[in-house]
A and B are shown apart, each in its own frame.
Chain A
């Protein structure tokens, strides 16, 4: 009985998603462009082999709204870490930087706003005295430099993560949007999603995530596309839809997003 059903299933399943002729040339052209992008600054992430049945926690498994909130929180965290590190721990003081009295600065040589107090100088002694024996110490310039490097690393990781999450969401959104344009049915939710992604995009553009020229260019192109989609609701003109998809294709926005998003995000 089971064999009979299996045979039936095999026969009937043959035309399940039956592939059309392979669009060899169109794909090759896109691959050439994609490879060029990869060589000139795009990131090609390693491909982890998917193991069916193994489920791991993925932040991107959250619904889009919560994910947007998560990205905003992550950005805020990155900015917070940056500011916290900038000012040092609460109660700590910059150990070797002091407001120097203008009269002590040699005129025309040193900026009177702030000078580095040499060890043993009057300003240095004042600082040591003010700190007291129990006050946290800032450390040597070498330690300060090391702390700065750690700070930069933590910030970079936070921004990278936020950027990857955003680009992954945008990629999924644009893939769906393009499919819905082809089928002629644009879900009204798409406009709200576009606005939400646009907000995150602007936050990222204004953050350090937008400092990298390649990322900035991608975010700017993405912003244009998202803004156009968000505007579609009010215009309601079908020719506008085609302008958006043309812009997406012209700027290779989707291939560039895919190149920039690490696998698994």
Chain B
């Protein structure tokens, strides 16, 4: 059954349709959220929150985009909000301008390219990181990313370009060696 039929059944109160809808989308949502959160507990919490919100607002879904895109937009919003709260609480917020520095200065301490790259991805501003993870790692199109983040596709492309530039900068000396 397609998403439209499932949605109609969920709105009619069919509990098995709720489960079917969940089963159809949970893997993709979980992969994206886990890539962003990097922690199983947090990822589970954010995915649960995503589906709770999605079910409660399903009547508002107008079908202008695919259901997976709509779920992705809720997931990324819940995740970014959650990560922001955690980050604020830790008081380790790094100014956006300093983000590239984190990946650059620690070569002696972290000689492994992969470790350096992962650190640099962590240090990206959340918006850039979301675009990079969605596009380069999870295979979302710029249109899907734009719909999920509430921006224009051109903005998504620009952010991916800047994200890659920052990562290149962080790895530059490594690659030239």
**CB-defined contacts of A26 to chain B, threshold 8 Å:** 44
Instruction: Give the interface residue-count category, chain B.
Output: 35 or more
Secondary structure of the B contact surface, majority rule: helix
The CA-CA distance from A4 to B176 in the complex, in Å, is 11
Instruction: Determine how close the nearest CB of chain B comes to the CB of A125; give it in whole angstroms.
Output: 59
Segment touching B, from A13-21, A132-140, A145-153: A13-21
Binary CB contact string for chain A from 27 to 67 against chain B (1 if under 8 A, 0 otherwise): 11011001100100000101111111100000011011000
The CA-CA distance from A20 to B76 in the complex, in Å, is 19
Pick the contact of A52 from B37, B57, B151 — CB < 8 Å? B151
The CA-CA distance from A47 to B22 in the complex, in Å, is 19
**CB-defined contacts of A168 to chain B, threshold 8 Å:** 85
Q: Are B136 and A50 in contact (CB under 8 A)?
A: no
Q: Are A61 and B78 in contact (CB under 8 A)?
A: no
Binary CB contact string for chain B from 29 to 50 against chain A (1 if under 8 A, 0 otherwise): 0110011111111111101110
Binary CB contact string for chain B from 136 to 151 against chain A (1 if under 8 A, 0 otherwise): 1100000000000111
Instruction: Give the interface residue-count category, chain A.
Output: 35 or more
The CA-CA distance from A149 to B172 in the complex, in Å, is 64
Q: What 6 pairs between A and B have smallest CB-CB spacing?
A: A52-B127, A49-B150, A19-B34, A172-B89, A17-B38, A172-B85
Secondary structure of the A contact surface, majority rule: helix
A166: CB under 8 A from chain B? Answer: no
Q: Are B77 and A12 in contact (CB under 8 A)?
A: no
The CA-CA distance from A181 to B159 in the complex, in Å, is 36
A2: CB under 8 A from chain B? Answer: yes
